[in-house]
Chain A
C-alpha cells in the first residue's frame, strides 16, 4: 500500500521540471517587467501611448502599430515591452518540456498508450506555439 500511495515516477519527474520551469519563468518575468517599467530598454510602444491601443481590437492594434503577429517579437527583444515575451513564452513552453520529459519514462515502463498520448499532446502544443494557426480578425 505504501508504494501505491506514492506518486508515480513520471508524475514526480513532471512535477520537478514544472517546479523549476515555473520558478525560473516567474522570476525572469518580474525582472523583464522591471526593465520595462524603469525604461532601461526603450519600449517599442511608449507606455504613455498605451491607453490609445489597449482599447482597440487586436487586429486594429497590430495594423496601427505595425507589429507582426507570431514569433516576430524575437526580433524586437531589445525593446523593453517585447522583452517580456521571453518569460511569457517560456512559461507557455514549460508544459511541453514536462511532457517530453515523461515520454521516455512511459516507454521504458511499456506504457505505450500513455506515451503516445503524451507525444500527441506535445504535437498539439507545438502546433499552437508554432504560429501557423492564424486568426482572420473581426
Chain B
C-alpha cells in the first residue's frame, strides 16, 4: 500500500516539476498566430498548476463525499477560475468521461455494472446529451451560469433529502423490462448472499433519462447525482448495481457530449489534461483514505462547497 501511495505522489511530483521546468522553455517559444498577452500579475503556468492541485483535492473529496468528480469540477472551477464556462464544461465532461472509463472495466467484470440495464438507458441519455451540449454551447454564458447555479442547488437538495434503498422492493417487473430481459444476480460480499434483482417503471425511468442526458450535456456535469436515484428509487435496481451502472453509463453519455465540445473547439488541453490527471490521482488517494476511514463530515463539506459554488454561479448569471 505504501508503495502505491509513493507511486501516486511521485507522479504528482513529476507533473508539478514538469510545469515548473517547462515554464521558462515555453515562455521563450514565439510562433504565435495572435497578439501577445496583455499584462498579467500571474505567470501563465500558475493557473494550470493551481488547477492540477485543486482537482487533485477535488478527486479526494469526491470519493470521500460519494459524488462524481464532474459535479464538483464544473461549478467550482467555473466559479473561481478565470476560464470561460464553455471550456470548463468541455473539461468537466472529459474529466467525468476519464473517471468513468477508468472505473468501467472493473465494474463490468465484477458484474456490478449491468450492460443490459445500461444499453437502453445509455442510448436515450447519450442522444439527449448531444442535444444538451448543443443547447449549452449556443446559450449565452449568463444563462448557462444561472441554469447551472439552479441545477447545482437542486443537486444539493437531492443530496440532502433523497433516500437510498439497498434492495428496493420490486414486486413485479414491468412489461418493457421483461421484454428486454433486464434482470440479474450479483454477489453481495458483505453478506455472502446472491442478490436477484429486476426493475420496474422502466418507461418512466427511460423518460427521465431524456432530461438527465440533456442536463449532462448542457452543463458538463456528469450525471451520477441523477442516474443513481432514478435507477435505484424509481426503477428499483439495488443500490450497488445502480451506483456501478451509473458510473459506467457516464462513459457512454459523456462520450457523445464530449464529441460535441471537442468538435466545436471548446477543449483546451492545458485545462483538460491537468484536470484529468489531478482528479484521477486524487481519486486514487481518496480510495486509499476511504479504506481506512470515512469522516462523516466530508459529505457535509462537499454539500457546503456545492451550495457555495451553486450560489456563486447563480449570482454570476444574474450579474450580481
Contacts and interface: CB of A to CB of B under 8 A. Distances in A.
Contact of A49 (B37, B122, B185): B37
A50 B48 CA distance: 10
Nearest to B22: A37
B34 A45 contact: yes
Contacts of A137: 137-138
Interface string B228-272: 000000000000000000000001100111111011111111111
A3 to B, nearest CB: 10
Interface in B11-48: 18-19, 21-22, 25-27, 29-38, 40, 42-45, 47
Interface string B136-147: 011111000000
A133 B263 contact: yes
A102 B20 CA distance: 45
Given A46-B31, A58-B265, A138 B120 contact: no
Nearest to A129: B259
A96 B115 CA distance: 15
A119 B146 CA distance: 37
B130 to A, nearest CB: 5
Contacts of A92: 97, 255, 258-259, 262
Interface in A12-71: 12, 14-16, 18-19, 21-22, 25-26, 29-30, 33-34, 36-39, 42-58, 61-62, 64-67, 69-71
A1 B194 CA distance: 9
Given A18-B108, A37-B26, A55-B84, A11 B138 contact: no
Nearest to A15: B108
Q: Is the interface of A mostly helix, strand, loop or mixed?
A: helix
Interface residues of A, number: 82
B187 interface: yes
The size bracket of the interface on B is 35 or more
A99 to B, nearest CB: 8
B83 interface: yes
Contact of A58 (B114, B116, B137, B255): B137
B284 interface: no
A8 B115 contact: yes
B269 A7 contact: no
Contacts of B21: 38
Contacts of A136: 138
A75 to B, nearest CB: 14
B41 to A, nearest CB: 11
B48 to A, nearest CB: 8
Nearest to B272: A88
A122 to B, nearest CB: 10
B97 A113 contact: no
Interface string A110-138: 00011001101100110111110111111
Contacts of B97: 91-92
A127 B140 CA distance: 25
Interface of A: 1, 4-8, 10-12, 14-16, 18-19, 21-22, 25-26, 29-30, 33-34, 36-39, 42-58, 61-62, 64-67, 69-71, 81, 84-85, 88-89, 91-92, 94-96, 102, 113-114, 117-118, 120-121, 124-125, 127-131, 133-138
24 contacts: A8-B115, A15-B109, A18-B101, A22-B105, A34-B18, A36-B273, A38-B21, A43-B29, A44-B33, A49-B44, A50-B270, A51-B40, A58-B84, A66-B33, A67-B265, A84-B272, A88-B267, A92-B262, A95-B251, A121-B123, A124-B126, A125-B126, A135-B138, A137-B138
